Amino acid sequence: MARIVVDAMGSDEHPGPDVEGAVLAAREYGVEIILVGDESKVRPVLEKQNTQGLTIRVVHAPEMLTMEDKGEKLVLKARAKDSQNSMAVGMDMVKRGEADAFVTAGNTGAGMVTALFRLGRIRGVDRPALAPIFPTATGTCVVLDIGANPDCKPENLMQFGILGSIYAEKVRGVKNPKVGLVSNGEEEGKGNELVKGATPLFKASNLNYFGNVEGKEVIGGAVDVAVTDGFTGNVMLKTSEAVAKLITDTIRSLIKNGNLQTKIGGLLVKPALSAIKKLLDPGEQGAAPMLGVNGLVFIGHGRSDAFAIKNAVRVAKEAVDVKVLDAMKIAIEESLKK
């Protein structure tokens, strides 16, 4: 049984969605849940849930990291041995082997810094990367990095490619995943100095290297893994989410404010619209893995509801079940021998 730590103080509306989603996951996926957070706040919410037959326990962590924790203040809280915030306590459990993965909907920056200090990096990885799953015309694409590393070197992108490829293969079930470098043109030689510097590294690797990809190729499903720096990746993510919201909100508004014929048409296409909404809903994936740290860490949106938390636990369980961390370590070790 996979043992998943859930940061009960992570989401914007904590601990309600975090606890409720964790209970749903325990029931649906048969995992052991360890809720980490202020017990005086977590316990009352948990007691309102139907937990009969489920393996759920609470580990007290009286403090929490917030958006206000930045710079030196964040570093001190993340690295102190006696830190009692929910992220530090939860990740320490993973490090000691008392849990298999950590899930949070808390501050992304705090999650990354805490993971670096509490878990460390996989040998051979200079910088971990956040790797969400983008919906595409043919399925999905692992995109990394989307914000952890605004400035990168070619070697960092190479490591991202290896980590993303292993994750796509082991967790997403993609055989020999195609890996592309995000650029402003498909032709080799296009792109900034970072992309040009990374290209020969990818061509010489054992990856199934596709070449340069523009944003339209990523969404069109040309590759299974799209590699970029955190600045570009974050812009891609935020733009994609905004466009998806604009489209769904506009369609909803046109149907609601339209004439009788439009409203009838809206009813007829409602199943199709629901399918589109599900495709574009980030809550379907729940959380993005932080690849490259020496432990399984998944970070979701601060606005996550119980549905998103439940799916975040599912994604964590899938990674645990296929031993993706071990596979990434082996792949990185192999790359170091070249």
Domains 3-129+285-322 and 130-235+331-336 share a fold: yes
CATH number for the domain formed by residue range(s) 3-129+285-322: 3.40.718.10
Read off the DSSP letter of residue 293.
Answer: B
Tokens describing residue 74: 């964040």
**Paired strand residues for 104:** 299
Cis peptide before 151 (omega within 30 of 0): no
pLDDT tens digits in sequence order for the chain, 338 residues long = 899 999 999 999 999 999 999 999 999 999 999 999 999 999 999 999 999 999 999 999 998 787 776 777 777 777 778 889 999 999 999 999 999 999 999 988 889 999 999 999 999 999 999 999 998 989 899 999 998 888 999 999 999 999 999 999 999 999 999 999 999 988 888 889 999 999 999 999 999 999 999 999 999 999 999 999 999 999 998 888 888 888 888 888 888 888 877 777 667 667 766 766 666 666 678 899 999 999 999 999 888 999 999 999 999 999 999 999 999 999 998 877 66
| Domain boundaries defined on the chain | 3-129+285-322, 130-235+331-336, 245-277
Cα separation, 6 vs 102, whole angstroms = 6
Candidates 294, 336, 322, 295; CA nearest to 158 is 336
CATH number of the domain at 130-235+331-336, out of 3.40.50.2300, 3.40.718.10, 2.60.40.1110, 3.40.50.300? 3.40.718.10
Candidates 195, 162, 105, 167; CA nearest to 322 is 167
Cα separation, 225 vs 110, whole angstroms = 26
Is pTM beyond 0.85? Reply is yes
Cα separation, 104 vs 89, whole angstroms = 12
